[in-house]
Structure 1
């Protein structure tokens, strides 16, 4: 049951664009990468490095490990924790490099010590902010190369991605985006398989009774669910179900139902051929007005306005103004 729901959540992930880079860094070195509107991943060969995300302890990353920042948080990358970082943009400018969105960034910097070959990428997903899976992912995911949850396919996918993105053969951008989809999914699968604890609806999903209710809610969002009917699905009393759901998922059952319905509807709005009432009905709303009110509260805009923004490439998060340099 849990596997089926996770597969459904992962199946929705589609990269709109990807920016890649290869940094050859000789110790000592350190720089600050600004926050981006995308999911950033890192892997390195040669020397280890340290990554620091605000509010978290410095993390030592060994050669071959994978690091994923699902929300694109600002972070420091360094050869060692004590090295003073410089802004990444200053480092690039100092090397005389003019970043280009459609060309992988190649950078050589640092001192004369051990070399770390860092391969990086930023994957842009328009719907990441509203994806129910993204909402419960931590700021930093570290997948160790020797983790039992990591199969040889992960390293193979990574190497295919690196070769495709750095060679810049015709069609490389599309190929890299598709490989990034696969790589991202595999990283998440490894994380979910090895993580000791989860948060939000993932934690609820692991609970036999609450997970049963979430499974039905996600499978049939159009049903006229109530707290009572969800509690019955879980085989619990209404009060016990509500308390347990909030404890695990950190939101009310109806709050989670509404958020999931809106997420499903946001994907359906991409199809200009579907009528609004059809979409509203498919997620449990009998009238357009009720659906429009709920959708506006969730997204901050009316459904039609949201649909236009999703079809307009200039509204994508990686359009003008998005930081360059993976």
Structure 2
């Protein structure tokens, strides 16, 4: 099993809300924060500045991509330090309905507008994983990086073409393409944060990635550090040390969290009884499972099952 693919299923990665912009100087827009989401902006024409508070800034040239992984509020502008207008006000003032192009800015007839493709990815509310905890305030993919990552470059080109073609079904295509873009961008930008580099490295390291695959494939197994280390041909101490260094957590802590996230996914998506879910994810005692689940999520398994059933009925 590919641990990254399994993870993306568990966190329910979804692409949503895509639109194009045409911002004419002078312009500056404040994008509000969004929980459990990663926003992105792909520059197609013109230049813009991106600022996440006083934490990080970047300049985007045509072909560059920025991802704000933690849904933080940020400012897009034609010049650094410009006073922004709230996005809601920009949308209202422009009369933008969600279709076509969001037009905003000055009225200089000869100024070249900045064209962006904007959108975001959403994650399950309960998402928790070393990969997401390792993400910096922003990830930036430059034209040079695209040239070194052909898959990512192809995806970004297709997104721009689809969004600016206006063809039926473009938005649906872009949603699927953007999910692939997010995965490839994580790999390409691994070097932009030490913690992220460690986690991405773990997903490609032949030993640690195999240990992750073992846990993802069979979370119900009675794993110990010794058993996993033996499966991948490492000593117990060396495996625990390397796993912790790359993933930022101990192997058994990772397994405990994985079991609970798989349980949450099963409770929301499957008709399996709660006791059966407990067994599927590796708990021998339903009571112990209920305690661990409630401590992690603040809800009992039965409450999640009832809420999920109610949503399906509606």
Q: In the alignment, is the contact (CA less than 8 A) between 1:20 and 1:105 conserved in 2?
A: no
User: Structure 1: any 5+ residue segments left out of the alignment?
Assistant: 315-326
Q: Which runs of structure 2 are paired with 1:94-173 in the superposition (5 Å)? A: 95=93, 97=95, 103-104=98-99, 106-111=101-106, 112=108, 113-126=111-124, 129-130=127-128, 133-146=131-144, 147=146, 148-151=148-151, 153-159=154-160, 161-162=162-163
In the superposition, relative to structure 1, how do residues 242 and 155 fare at CA in structure 2: closer, same or farther (>3 Å)?
closer
In the superposition, relative to structure 1, how do residues 266 and 240 fare at CA in structure 2: closer, same or farther (>3 Å)?
same
1:280, 1:268 → 2: CA distance?
10
2:198, 2:293 → 1: CA distance?
22
Q: How big is the shift at 1:160?
A: 5.9
1:153, 1:311 → 2: CA distance?
41
User: Structure 2: any 5+ residue segments left out of the alignment?
Assistant: none
Cα deviation digits, residues 166-198 of structure 1 (max 9, x gap)? 66x6xx6xx735641332223322431453363
RMSD: 3.1
Q: In the alignment, is the contact (CA less than 8 A) between 1:10 and 1:185 conserved in 2?
A: no
> Is 1:44–2:43 an aligned residue pair?
yes
Q: How big is the shift at 1:52?
A: 1.2
Q: In the alignment, is the contact (CA less than 8 A) between 1:23 and 1:106 conserved in 2?
A: yes
Q: What is the TM-score of this pair, normalised by structure 2? A: 0.81
Q: In the alignment, is the contact (CA less than 8 A) between 1:9 and 1:133 conserved in 2?
A: no
2:311, 2:94 → 1: CA distance?
30
In the superposition, relative to structure 1, how do residues 50 and 88 fare at CA in structure 2: closer, same or farther (>3 Å)?
same
The higher relative CO (CA closer than 8 Å, separation ≥ 6) is in 1
Name the SS for the 1:39 alignment partner: strand
